Structure 1
Amino acid sequence: MVLLFKIGFLDVTWVDFVDIALVSILLYQVYKLIRGSIAVNIFLGILALYLVYLIVRAAQMELLATILGQFMGVGVLAMIILFQPEIRKFLLVIGRGTEFKENIFKTIANWRHQYHDDFDIHEVMEAAKALKATKTGALVVFSRDTELKFYVQTGDALDSAVNKRLLLSIFNKHSPLHDGAVIIHKGRIKAARCVLPVSENDNLPPHFGLRHRAAVGMSENTDTLVMAISEESGRLILARNGKYLRSLKLKQVEHRVLQYLHNDEPARWEEEVKDEEPEPTESSPAKA
């Protein structure tokens, strides 16, 4: 091992710098995942309890140290249970970062995505235009690679072609299928009335109702693009990777959906919006 320098009794090598850098990156990624969520408070609580345990053990308080020690013994299992959504998101980020995009597997990926040529996005955009005009709530999930069977099973299976009239019928306020999400995969409406996870992000705007929070929550937990239309204001948002875009023109929405389906999204997805139209003003907080 190559020794760089020595500080007292510590031998510092280049491996130590690499180790510190990797740990810093890991902690930063963890911070980004739990930032703005209730997991931050849980993490700080566990950290405070661990510091108390160290102090108690150093002070040789045997009884209290034994009790806290028993709790710390199952700490790893408890953290896995408490931080299950965050761990899932972290593994999803790692999985996306290790995709082979510029090698032989790209050909296979393109073959898998050939169905997008048959997907008429204009049917969805025409439906979205009508839904916005009539202030009809809607929630549409676009899935590029996975069938989302778990979420499909929470609703009513359809497996039908994407059609403007069908989407308008589903989200009609008097339809038994309107209360939930539509899942679109491989150019087909797989199911309607699907239940989506609701985001626990505390930084979302206060006027975001359950529909908008479900759109963000679904994008946090899965590799999907979600479109939500507010029932109160007709506001449309797109959610991806826990982030969202609003005040988009329909042409911009169409462009975003096609980028997602063709796996051609910009690196900074949430910052690539131009020519935004002003968001409708509200006299009171709106519910999605």
Structure 2
Amino acid sequence: MLLFSVGFLEINFVDVLDILLVSVLLFHLYKLIKGSVALKIFVGGLSIYLTYLVVKATDMELLSEILSQFIDVGVIAAIILFQQEIRKFLLIIGKSTDFKNFPLFQLFRGKGKDYEINLDIPSIIDAMKDMSGTNTGALIVISKDSDLQFYAETGDFVDAKISKRLLLSIFFKNSPMHDGACLIYNNRIQAARCILPISENPNIPATMGLRHRAGIGMTENTNAIVLIVSEETGQMSYIQGGVIDHNLSSIELRTKIRAYMQDGQEENNTTTTQKSAV
């Protein structure tokens, strides 16, 4: 259906829809790689492609052939160079497509199943309160959707039931497993001393140490949440989707964990002392 024409150009409804979809895609792509080295690489690759289009339109055969070779290899190179960004983009799509809310999925899954029964929240909170009181650093990853096998393999497998005493022993300062993260899945401590991906977000304050950067990086790459006890201040923090909530009380922390386990939505009455979006 023809909407309007500009000179020899005829614009129809499909053209407008095409432009809008491309604009949305480029906008989200820019948000994904903004502030990273990937943005400069993307701009460089885009410049080469635009140059190739101009050269091809002007019938410069030799230069066009050379640039075409760069573009042919560039598709594979882009997948290698942007593998982290592609992973994040696919994760965003996966998060936005929540099949658990589909009626058909709920029919097979069992409507009204409460995720909280699959996690011993009191034991986790009690352990974090004790570690907060003694300024014992801790990094705990909780996942409700995936067993995080890839990250578990970087540490030591534990496969034990969650308990306050076990968590305290793992993060005890003289324990061989206190460095790294503790992974929790299906109400069990899956592994300890695990290595997490470090966030490359340039907006993270310089005051944040490696523990907090690893927690942010983990939530940027997965749908898990991360709980942190600061070794310097003893403050408890909660991280989800790259957003960190500092200096939480045990009640606030419990509310956030329960909301994540139930439906991933934070309750409106939850307040935090400080919130930093990074």
TM-score normalised by L of structure 2: 0.88
Task: Give 2:29's aligned amino acid.
Answer: V
In structure 1, distance between residues paired with 2:219 and 2:63:
43
* Displacement after TM superposition at 1:278 (Å): 6.2
Identity %: 47
* Displacement after TM superposition at 1:258 (Å): 0.9
* Displacement after TM superposition at 1:36 (Å): 3.0
Alignment of 1:195-274 (within 5 A): 195-266=195-266
Instruction: Show the counterpart of 2:77.
Output: 78
Instruction: Show the counterpart of 1:284.
Output: none
1:276 to 251, 272, 276: 272
Q: 1:118–1:83: structure 2 CA closer, same or farther, 3 Å change rule?
A: closer
Instruction: Show the counterpart of 1:175.
Output: 175
Alignment of 1:45-64 (within 5 A): 45-53=44-52
Report the aligned-residue RMSD: 2.5
Instruction: Show the counterpart of 1:286.
Output: none
Instruction: Show the counterpart of 1:31.
Output: 30
Instruction: Show the counterpart of 1:69.
Output: 68
Q: 1:31–1:10: structure 2 CA closer, same or farther, 3 Å change rule?
A: same
In structure 2, distance between residues paired with 1:257 and 1:19:
41
Alignment of 1:84-163 (within 5 A): 84-100=83-99, 101-109=101-109, 114=114, 116-163=116-163
* Displacement after TM superposition at 1:60 (Å): 7.1
SS at match of 1:219: helix
Q: 1:273–1:209: structure 2 CA closer, same or farther, 3 Å change rule?
A: farther
Give the length in aligned residue pairs. Answer: 274
Give CA-to-partner distance per residue, 1:103-129, whole Å, 9 cap, x none: 121244457965631522011111111
* Displacement after TM superposition at 1:170 (Å): 0.3
Task: Give 1:147's aligned amino acid.
Answer: D
Structure 1: state its 5+ residue gaps: 280-288
Give CA-to-partner distance per residue, 1:192-218, whole Å, 9 cap, x none: 111111111111111111111110111
Q: 1:227–1:263: structure 2 CA closer, same or farther, 3 Å change rule?
A: same
SS at match of 2:103: coil
The answer to which of 150-159 and 57-66 deviates more is 57-66
Instruction: Show the counterpart of 2:185.
Output: 185
Q: 1:198–1:62: structure 2 CA closer, same or farther, 3 Å change rule?
A: same
SS at match of 1:174: coil
* Displacement after TM superposition at 1:39 (Å): 1.8
In structure 2, distance between residues paired with 1:142 and 1:108:
25
In structure 1, distance between residues paired with 2:24 and 2:63:
35
Q: Is the 8 A contact 1:38 1:201 kept in 2?
A: no
